[in-house]
Amino acid sequence: MKIYVSNLSFNVQDEELLNLFTPFGAVASAKVITDRETGRSRGFGFVEMEDDNAAQEAMQQLDKTSVDNRSIGVSEARPKSDRSFGNSPFKSDNGGYNKRKW
């Protein structure tokens, strides 16, 4: 399950995310999105967990909790389009991500 973590402090990074979600279950990957140009944190990240129910658990437990003096937000991540940044400038039909009835 992919998890979207928002409102992160700018000093929290991948490892911090990992440490946050690890106690709830196996974390496949944890990544804080940093600005590609400057390298600074953008204040949000993604966490991929092996176990789905562990992910749900982590979400409820970590959402709105204070991390580094900031109340973070944890929710299920949107599906990153099957091929959003491939090679074609036309990208996907929706323009980035499936804009269904979320």
Q: Given the rule CB under 7 A, which of 19-27, 38-46, 49-57, 58-66 is the region that contacts DNA? A: 38-46
Q: How far is the CB of 43 from DNA (least distance, A)?
A: 2
Token pair of 79, please? 């599906």
> Which 3 state secondary structure label does DSSP give 59?
helix
- Of 63, 60, 58, 4, whose CA–CA distance to 26 is shortest? 58
Binding residues for DNA (CB under 7 A)? 2, 4, 6-10, 29, 31, 33-36, 38, 40, 42-44, 46, 48, 70, 75-78, 80, 84-85, 96-97
